[in-house]
């Protein structure tokens, strides 16, 4: 379906024409009419499917009909990371550029002054991360009584990052009468449970399950040995057609190490991960978008929500040990129907991960055999064994630390829900 068949306002169609958007993606084709008909929507869609436009365009269309009302926040979009919040707001800016609607974005990690000033001028559409949103509500700078449309985006990642308590607090502050849109890449039991507390008689739309990769992405696999990874990466980067790359490292330490190696080779790059400040991460992302750097080295958590138009190349320096992570990673390229190329570098200890990935996606990854650093059966040296065992122990400790953290969060949640008032609410619902 084409956008001009959706009975959208002329101002929106003009903005979409500027973006060269003609045909809606499957999630847009399914979701936009439902949102415009005031339905609550449960959207199951991974990154790269065009889901931001699937909720942003109908929100703008709906609010255009109500501009005579006093300016107040009428649409609230909540998303887990600063980077994703900024990108959503940038998309809203693009789609609403020929309208009089006002929008802004708020997030933590920076001083709140500039954000507060924009809020004071009046906003129709607000995109926010949970922490800063609740902070400004508590300070009296934000009121949610006029909210007509509420969007919870990346719900699964929201829970993974420990925002469940913030979301529960937020839900209590929203008007009972509202339209709610809920988007998640996956739908495990806890996400289904959360959706039921937010949505009323929702219409479900689902596209591109996590087990599949976009047909527009060409996938290539290079087998090599651990100590030859850097040499192979530099060999791959000799291809001048590879103008920009989002390169994935399994660890924060590894990302910094790769970044230092690239710097020594005079290749413009930057690393983003959880140990970097918000300002450092945003600067690196902006430099990458502005093509000031060629390589953006990222860990999986830091990269979630990165949406870079026309990004063609993704390189897996490390093969992920979780197969679904591979699908999410390479989905950064080939977005919204565009062509993409995913290159993976595999050392012997990661061979088993490749087999699991191929089982998940239901296809074999193309192997590149003609390169100067092939994988050999030569046993690891004692130094390599020590490094391998050290990394294995680190991953084991990280696994148990994360499990302990989740267990503690679960205990805290149960404790928070054990008060008398909450018990009464539970009995009443029951």
Number of Cβ within 10 Å of residue 210's Cβ equals 20
Q: Tens of pLDDT along 67-106?
A: 655 678 999 999 988 888 998 999 999 999 999 999 999 9
In this structure, CATH architecture of domain 217-380 = 3-Layer(aba) Sandwich (3.40)
Q: Tens of pLDDT along 286-316?
A: 899 889 999 999 987 666 656 666 788 999 9
Q: What is the model's pTM?
A: 0.62
What is the pairing mode between strands 366-367 and 217-223?
parallel
Q: Among all chains, which residue has been given the structure tokens 């709906």? A: 62
Q: How far is CA 308 from its chain centroid? A: 11
Q: Which own/partner contact pairs does 346-349 have at CB distance under 8 Å and 24+ positions apart?
A: 346/221, 346/222, 346/223, 346/224, 346/319, 346/375, 347/224, 347/225, 347/226, 347/229, 347/319, 347/375, 348/225, 348/226, 348/375, 348/377, 349/226, 349/388
Compute the average pLDDT of residues 235-246. Answer: 92
Q: How far is CA 226 from its chain centroid? A: 29
> Which pLDDT score, from 0 to 100, does residue 429 have?
42
Q: State how far the Cα of 150 lies from the Cα of 168, in Å rounded to an integer.
A: 14
Q: State how far the Cα of 304 lies from the Cα of 301, in Å rounded to an integer.
A: 5
Q: How far is CA 111 from its chain centroid? A: 24
The closest alpha carbon to 97, from 28, 16, 15, 156, belongs to 15
Paired with 269 in beta bridges are 295
> Which pLDDT score, from 0 to 100, does residue 285 have?
86
More confident residue, 209 or 256: 256
Give the pLDDT band of residue 397 (cuts 50, 70, 90): confident
Buried b (16+ CB within 10 A) or exposed e, 250-282: bbbebbbbbbebbeeeebebbbbbeebeeeebb
- The enclosing H or E element of 119 equals helix 113-120
Q: State how far the Cα of 100 lies from the Cα of 375, in Å rounded to an integer.
A: 59
The closest alpha carbon to 158, from 81, 85, 105, 91, belongs to 81
User: Does the pLDDT at position 270 exceed 60?
Assistant: yes
Domain ranges of the chain: 3-206, 217-380
What percent of the chain is helix, strand and coil (3-state, nearest 5)?
50, 15, 35
Q: Tens of pLDDT along 212-239?
A: 566 778 999 999 999 999 999 999 999 9
User: Does the pLDDT at position 414 exceed 60?
Assistant: no
Compute the average pLDDT of residues 386-409. Answer: 66
**For the chain, percent of residues with pLDDT exceeding 90:** 55
Assigned CATH class of 3-206? alpha beta
- Report the mean per-residue pLDDT for the chain: 85
Do 3-206 and 217-380 share a fold? yes
Q: State how far the Cα of 344 lies from the Cα of 333, in Å rounded to an integer.
A: 13
Compute the average pLDDT of residues 329-357. Answer: 85
> Which pLDDT score, from 0 to 100, does residue 276 have?
80
User: Does the pLDDT at position 416 exceed 60?
Assistant: no
């Amino acid at each position: 379906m084409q956008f001009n068949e959706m009975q959208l306002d002329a101002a929106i169609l003009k903005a979409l024409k500027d973006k060269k958007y003609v045909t809606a993606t499957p999630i847009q084709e399914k979701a936009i009419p439902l949102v415009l008909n005031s339905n609550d929507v449960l959207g199951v869609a991974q990154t790269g499917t065009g889901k931001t436009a699937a909720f942003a365009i109908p929100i703008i269309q709906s609010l255009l009909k109500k501009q005579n009302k006093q300016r107040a926040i009428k649409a609230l979009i909540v998303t887990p990371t600063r980077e994703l919040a900024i990108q959503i707001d940038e998309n809203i800016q693009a789609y609403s550029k020929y309208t009089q609607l006002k929008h802004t974005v708020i997030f933590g990690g920076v001083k709140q002054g500039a954000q507060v000033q924009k809020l004071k001028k009046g906003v129709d559409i607000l995109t926010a991360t949970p922490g800063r949103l609740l902070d400004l509500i508590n300070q009296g700078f934000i009121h949610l009584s006029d909210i007509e449309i509420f969007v919870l985006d990346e719900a699964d990642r929201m829970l993974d990052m420990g925002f469940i308590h913030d979301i529960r607090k937020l839900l209590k502050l929203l008007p009972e009468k509202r339209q709610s849109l809920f988007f998640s890449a996956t739908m495990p039991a806890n996400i289904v449970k959360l959706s039921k507390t937010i949505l009323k008689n929702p219409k479900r739309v689902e596209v591109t399950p996590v087990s599949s990769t976009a047909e527009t992405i060409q996938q290539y696999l290079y087998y090599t040995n651990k100590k030859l990874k850097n040499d192979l990466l530099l060999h791959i980067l000799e291809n001048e057609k590879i103008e920009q790359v989002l390169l994935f490292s399994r660890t924060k330490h590894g990302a910094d190490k790769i970044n230092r190696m690239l710097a020594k080779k005079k290749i413009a790059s930057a690393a983003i991960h959880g140990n970097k400040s918000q300002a450092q991460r945003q600067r690196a992302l902006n430099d990458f978008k502005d093509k000031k750097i060629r390589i953006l080295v990222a860990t999986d958590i830091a990269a979630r929500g990165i949406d870079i138009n026309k990004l063609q190349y993704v390189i897996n320096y490390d093969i992920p040990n979780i197969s679904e992570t591979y699908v999410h990673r390479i989905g950064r390229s080939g977005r919204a129907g565009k062509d993409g190329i995913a290159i993976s570098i595999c050392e012997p200890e990661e061979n088993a991960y490749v087999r699991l990935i191929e089982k998940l996606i239901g296809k074999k990854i193309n192997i590149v055999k003609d390169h100067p650093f092939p994988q050999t059966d030569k046993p690891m040296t004692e130094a390599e064994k020590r490094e391998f065992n050290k990394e294995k122990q680190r991953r084991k400790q990280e696994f148990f630390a994360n499990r302990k953290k989740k267990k503690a969060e679960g205990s805290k949640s149960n404790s928070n829900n054990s008060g008398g008032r909450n018990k009464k609410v539970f009995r009443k619902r029951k």
